[in-house]
Each structure stands twice: as structure tokens, then as C-alpha cells.
């Protein structure tokens, strides 16, 4: 009978035994069937090798920069953006008419933010303008008054000269009266001699009694004439302020040589002249001076003794003119203040920035200095980084800083430079600094604020920075500081060349104490 069994198909990887090969043991066929193929093992090894290479490459890509940064920089996560803020406050009180901005408005310097009611200040401006016109008119009147006073002083000067001429005339009259007296005395002497000769001739009958009586009468008349002339001289001397009878050894014509300077009427005229001169600001050095000395002192004010030049110098110094000019200056200053107050009704921004914290509305009545809003600067931005005191050993002004802002991740970086170190740690500058003198002291690593400026920051070009944002600064302390930064390589900044305030002393005190 023919068999129906068919042989089983052989597997591709099944090997047939050869004559030289030993017969397989009963367990070998089972091991051969479970052994994996050789090409499957190489594929897994290649995959693992490629994965390891990729992991090493990625690790090197991220790890090498991190190691480089860690070895060459000092950083801290206690840093934030800071900037200047200007508080907007009115300079004059008034009612708010318009508020032209709101929070987050970007403004530039000079933009009007708030407008106040201008009508009250316009009225004040008109009043001040009228006061200036009045003061100008008063100044013109004062100048006219001073010129009138100068003319009066000029007239008084001629009165003084006339008084001096009167004294000289009286002295001349005195000399004439003395000459007349001498003439009358000579006539009297001749009459006496004629009478004496007549009395000698009477005994001999050589002269009549009538003629003798006439000679006696002539003597008496001449005596009366001499007495009259003498009394006139006494009157003239008394009129000149002299004793009627001169002293022993003095002549009737003896008078002081400067009588025309010291006579009472001359001194009275001089006093009147000085009084009129004082009205336009001229004061003599001595009130006992003579006219001659007073004129010499007056003309010393000009090297050429030019009266017009002296008067031209005296007019601006006249008290009435100076008082009128002071009032005019005060009126002009009041006008300028009124103009400023009117201009201050437009409250403007003093810096470029962004409006924040607005708290004013139309209709509010605001006072001087009241906080209306704040303007944060966009360009005057810096970073305050609070480094540990153990990190400050190698930090210096001018070192380069790479700043990463959390708001933009690590994709946006800002280049900065260290510009200064705050003179005090954050703990000592706090509102309530600790009192370590109590003895309960625990040493804590302090942080010192370091200021980092951003010299190339432009808010219109770079992603904007906002005050208060967290920053991670990396200071490249191994690089040399930027020499363009002032005080590069130093810890303290140099002494700032600030202007000195003038030293003003009270009128009663001097630089070394009370004035003598």
C-alpha cells in the first residue's frame, strides 16, 4: 500500500546535518530554533549608538554654554528693572477743566496733560499789566520831579552866590564908610584949626563975632558928621556880624578874611542849597563846610568838573527815581508771576514716558503740589541687582552684564554695564533697619544693590522693559571693564564736579563772625 504521509517543509534557516558533523543532541534543535537572527542584533546596537551620540550632542550643546557662563560670570536672581518716575502736580490752585490723558498713555516732554480754569488768572494778569503802566507813569513823574529839584538846587546856588556878593558889598560899604569918616574927621580937624585961629584974632579985633560963631558952628556940624559916619560904620560892622568897635589895635576896616564864606546869610543859603540837593540824593561829607569847600567837593565827582556830567550821574541815583524804579520792577515781577500762573494752568509733562496712577478728573479743585498722576520714563531705565556680599569680590564699575528678563525668557537679552554700588545694603536702607546692638545677632549674608545701566537700550527698537520686572544679570567679571564708562575699574565713583552754592551772610555777620 502506498503511503499518504508527506514530508514537512523545511524552514529556511534549518540546516541539514552533514556527514562530517556530529549528530545533534536532542537539546540542540530547540536552542537553534530560539536563537535570534544575527542582523537583528546589529540594528539595535546601531540604534543605541545613534541615540547615545544624539544625547551627547544635545547635552554638549546645552551644557557647554552653561558651564562657560557659570565659570566666567557672576549672577543673581534677585534683580529687577527700575526707572525714574516724575509725579505730576499743579503749580497753581484751580478747577480742572480738561484731563487729556489716561493711564498707559505715552507722552513726550512738553505735552499738556491737564488744563485748569484760566479766567481767574487772566483777570490777575490784566491787573498786573495795569500796575506796570501805573508804575511806568510814576517813574516818569519821579524823573520830572528830580529834574525840578535839580533846577531848584541850581536856583539856590545862585541865591548862595548872591548872599556871598552881598557880604562882599557890605564889606566894600564898610571900607567906603571908613573913608568917609576919615574925610569928615579931616574936615573937622580943619574946622577946629580955623576956630582956634579965629579965637586968637578976636582979641585984636581981626575977626568979627559973627564969623567966629560961624566957625564954631562949622566945628559942631563937622563933629556931628564924624559921629554920624562913625555910627554908620558901627551899623555896617554889626550888619556883618562883627563887634561895632574893633578890638585894641584893630582898624574899623578889619574883617575876617573868609567872612563871605562864614557869614550867617551865606551859611543859611548854603543850608538851603544842601537841603535841595539832598532831595535828589546828594549828601555832603560835612555840614560845617563853607561854600567854597562844598563846591570843590561837589565838582570832584567828575574829573573834568563838568556840571552836566555830574547831574547826569546824580539823576539815576535820586531816591525818588530809585523808589519809582523799585516799584516798577516789583510791578514787572508781579506781571511775570501772573504770566507764569496763567501758563501754569496748562500742566505739562516734564519727561518722556508713560502715564500711570491718574487720580484727577474734570471738575476737581486741585491745590498746589497735589499729586495728579505719575509719568514713568521709558529711556531712563536701569537694573538694580542685589548681589550677595560674597559675590562682590570681582565686581567693578564698567564690567559688561548680560541681562535676561523673565518676561521675554532667554530669547531677548539686554547688554548692560555696572555703573555704581549703592552705599548701603538693602537691610540698612529699609524702613525699619535692624538693631544689632541688642546682642541678638545672627550673621546673615547681606545683599548690596548694584546699579546696571543699559547704554544701548531703545524702547522703540527693543522689547520694552517695565519697572519691576524680574531680571537675571550675568556679570562677565573676567573681561576688562569698558573704558568709556566713567570710573571704570573702580568701586566708588569719583567726586562729582557739582557747582558750589554761594555763601550768603546776614547783614550783621561776616565770614568770621559779627561785623564791627
Q: What is the mean pLDDT of residues 345-357?
A: 95
Q: Would you say residue 184 has pLDDT above 80?
A: yes
| CB-based contacts of 412, cutoff 8 Å, min separation 6 | 404, 405, 462, 463
**pLDDT surpassing 90 at residue 308:** no
**Looking at residue 68, what is its pLDDT?**
76
Highest mean pLDDT among 19-28, 272-281, 342-351: 342-351
The larger pLDDT score, comparing residue 60 to residue 76, is at 76
Classify residue 303 by burial, with Cβ atoms within 10 Å: 0-12, 13-18, 19+: exposed
Q: Are strands 471-475 and 74-75 parallel, antiparallel or unpaired?
A: antiparallel
List residues bridging with 452 in a β-sheet: 383, 418
- Mean pLDDT value of segment 340-355: 96
Q: Is the pLDDT of residue 22 over 60?
A: no
Higher pLDDT, 170 or 511: 170
- Percent pLDDT > 90 in the chain is 44
Question: Do residues 476 and 402 lie in contact, with contact meaning Cβ atoms separated by under 8 Å?
Answer: yes
13 pLDDT more than 50: no
As given in the structure block, the three cell numbers for residue 348 are 505739562
Q: What is the DSSP string of 211-279?
A: HHHHHHHHHHHHHHHHHHHHHHHHHHHHHTTS-SS--TT--TT---TTHHHH-HHHHHHHHHHHHHHHT
pTM: 0.68
pLDDT value of position 19: 44
- pLDDT score of 471 more than 70: yes
Average pLDDT, the chain: 85
Name the band, by pLDDT with cuts 50, 70 and 90, for residue 24.
Answer: low
Cα 396 versus chain centre, distance: 36
pLDDT above 80 (res 373): yes
Q: Tell me: pLDDT of 66 over 50.
A: yes
**Counts of helices then strands in the chain (DSSP H, E):** 9, 15
Contact residues for 331 (Cβ-Cβ < 8 A; gap 6+): 128, 131, 132, 134, 135
**Residue 113 DSSP SS3:** strand
Distances (CA, A) of 434 to 276, 422, 431: 76, 18, 10
Mean pLDDT in residue range 222-234: 90
Average pLDDT over residues 276-284: 85
Q: What is the CA radius of gyration of the chain?
A: 60
Using pLDDT thresholds of 50, 70 and 90, give the confidence band for residue 448: very high
Residue 39 reports pLDDT greater than 60: no
**Backbone dihedral angles phi then psi of residue 169, each to the nearest 5 degrees:** -65, -45
β-sheet bridge partners, residue 451: 384, 420
Rounded CA separation 250/237 (Å)? 13
Name, of 13-27, 88-102, 214-228, the range with top average pLDDT.
88-102
Give pLDDT tens digits for 78-87: 999 999 999 9
**Rounded CA gap, 245 and 7, in Å?**
196
Nearest to 473 by CA among 427, 421, 422, 405: 405
Query: Given its phi and psi angles, is residue 513 left (phi above 0), alpha (psi -120 to 50 degrees) or beta?
Result: left
Q: Where are the domains of the chain?
A: 121-314
What is the tens place of the pLDDT at every residue in 393-402?
999 999 999 9
Q: Over the stretch 109-145, which tens digit does the pLDDT of each residue have?
A: 999 999 999 999 999 999 999 999 999 999 999 999 9
Amino acid at each position: 500500500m502506498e503511503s499518504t504521509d508527506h514530508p514537512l517543509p523545511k524552514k529556511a534557516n534549518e540546516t541539514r546535518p552533514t556527514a562530517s558533523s556530529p549528530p545533534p543532541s536532542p537539546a540542540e534543535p530547540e536552542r537553534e530554533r530560539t536563537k535570534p537572527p544575527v542582523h537583528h542584533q546589529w540594528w539595535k546596537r546601531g540604534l543605541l549608538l545613534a541615540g547615545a551620540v544624539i544625547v551627547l550632542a544635545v547635552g554638549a550643546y546645552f551644557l557647554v554654554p552653561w558651564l562657560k557662563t557659570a565659570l566666567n560670570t557672576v549672577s543673581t536672581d534677585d534683580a529687577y528693572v527700575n526707572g525714574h518716575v516724575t509725579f505730576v502736580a499743579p503749580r497753581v490752585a484751580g478747577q480742572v477743566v480738561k484731563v487729556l490723558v489716561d493711564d498707559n498713555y505715552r507722552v513726550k516732554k512738553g505735552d499738556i496733560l491737564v488744563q485748569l480754569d484760566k479766567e481767574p488768572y487772566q483777570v490777575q494778569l490784566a491787573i498786573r499789566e495795569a500796575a506796570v503802566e501805573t508804575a511806568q507813569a510814576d517813574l516818569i513823574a519821579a524823573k520830572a520831579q528830580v529834574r525840578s529839584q535839580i533846577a531848584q538846587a541850581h536856583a539856590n546856588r545862585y541865591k548862595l552866590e548872591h548872599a556871598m556878593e552881598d557880604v562882599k558889598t557890605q564889606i566894600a560899604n564898610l571900607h567906603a564908610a571908613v573913608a568917609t569918616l576919615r574925610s569928615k574927621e579931616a574936615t573937622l580937624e580943619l574946622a577946629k584949626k580955623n576956630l582956634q585961629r579965629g579965637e586968637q584974632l578976636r582979641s585984636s579985633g581981626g575977626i568979627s563975632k559973627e564969623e567966629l560963631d560961624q566957625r564954631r558952628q562949622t566945628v559942631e556940624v563937622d563933629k556931628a558928621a564924624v559921629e554920624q559916619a562913625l555910627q554908620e560904620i558901627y551899623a555896617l560892622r554889626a550888619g556883618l556880624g562883627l563887634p561895632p568897635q574893633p578890638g585894641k589895635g584893630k582898624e574899623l576896616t578889619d574883617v575876617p578874611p573868609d567872612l563871605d564864606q562864614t557869614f550867617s546869610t551865606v551859611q543859611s543859603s548854603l543850608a538851603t542849597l544842601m537841603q535841595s540837593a539832598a532831595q535828589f540824593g546828594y549828601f555832603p561829607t560835612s555840614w560845617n563846610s563853607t561854600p567854597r569847600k562844598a563846591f570843590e567837593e561837589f565838582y570832584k565827582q567828575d574829573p573834568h568838573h563838568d556840571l552836566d556830567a555830574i547831574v547826569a550821574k546824580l539823576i539815576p541815583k535820586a531816591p525818588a527815581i530809585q523808589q519809582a524804579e523799585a516799584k516798577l520792577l516789583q510791578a514787572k515781577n508781579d506781571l511775570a508771576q501772573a504770566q507764569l500762573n496763567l501758563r501754569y494752568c496748562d500742566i505739562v509733562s516734564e519727561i518722556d514716558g508713560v502715564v500711570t496712577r491718574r487720580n484727577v478728573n474734570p471738575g476737581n479743585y486741585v491745590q498746589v503740589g497735589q499729586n495728579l498722576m505719575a509719568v514713568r520714563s521709558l529711556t531712563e531705565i536701569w537694573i538694580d541687582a542685589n548681589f550677595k556680599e560674597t559675590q562682590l569680590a570681582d565686581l567693578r564699575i564698567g564690567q559688561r552684564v548680560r541681562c535676561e528678563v523673565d518676561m521675554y525668557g532667554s530669547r531677548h537679552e539686554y547688554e548692560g554695564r555696572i555703573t555704581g554700588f549703592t552705599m548701603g545694603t538693602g537691610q540698612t536702607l529699609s524702613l525699619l533697619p535692624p538693631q544689632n546692638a541688642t546682642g541678638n545677632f545672627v550673621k546673615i549674608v547681606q545683599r548690596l544693590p548694584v546699579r546696571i545701566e543699559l547704554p544701548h537700550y531703545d524702547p522703540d527698537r527693543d522689547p520694552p522693559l517695565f519697572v519691576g520686572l524680574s531680571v537675571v544679570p550675568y556679570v562677565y567679571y573676567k573681561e576688562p571693564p569698558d573704558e568709556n564708562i566713567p570710573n571704570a575699574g573702580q568701586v566708588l565713583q569719583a567726586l562729582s564736579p557739582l557747582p558750589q552754592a554761594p555763601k550768603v551772610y546776614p547783614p550783621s555777620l561776616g565770614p568770621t563772625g559779627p561785623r564791627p
